[in-house]
Structure 1
Amino acid sequence: MDSPADRPCRISVQRRGPLLVEGPVEVELEDGTTVVSDRFRVAVCTCRRSRRYPWCDTSHRDRERKPS
């Protein structure tokens, strides 16, 4: 039988965006602390701009709109 524990964790890489990881996940930070999310998919920040680091808060997006 193909249970979720038998399948590898899926991580989606996006150009100029977060890593999308199928959850639940545990992330070990540089200082050794661990943060946990039980959501079915989480966005892990790769730009380090997020106020909720290591979770993405979309700070990587360009906030300034370009004229049309």
Structure 2
Amino acid sequence: MPNAPSDDPRPEPPRPDQPRRITMRRRGPILVDGPVEVELEDGTTVSSDRFRVALCTCRRSRRYPWCDTSHRDRA
């Protein structure tokens, strides 16, 4: 059945004609519906094929630019 409902809870990736959803959180990471590519200040590019990624805004993450919840220690 090609149109059978899926048990996969992940949202469908956006089509090229649809905008990406970005969720801003006060005192937290920026959530971006993936997959994503992030260009860093030094020009290198990192990517993730996850259905949603959390981008660090506090720069405390050991996995920068990905959030590792280090902001919770001092929030």
Say what the alpha-carbon RMSD is for the aligned residues.
1.3
Separation (CA, whole Å) in 2 of partners of 1:18 and 1:25: 15
Q: Secondary structure at the match of 1:6?
A: coil
TM-score w.r.t. length of structure 2? 0.77
Aligned ranges for residues 1-68 of structure 1 at < 5 Å? 4-62=15-73
Match of 1:66 in 2: none
Q: Where does structure 2 lack aligned partners over 5 or more consecutive residues?
A: 1-13
Separation (CA, whole Å) in 2 of partners of 1:17 and 1:39: 19
Q: Where does structure 1 lack aligned partners over 5 or more consecutive residues?
A: 64-68
Query: Aligned letter for 2:72?
Result: R
Total equivalences in the alignment? 61
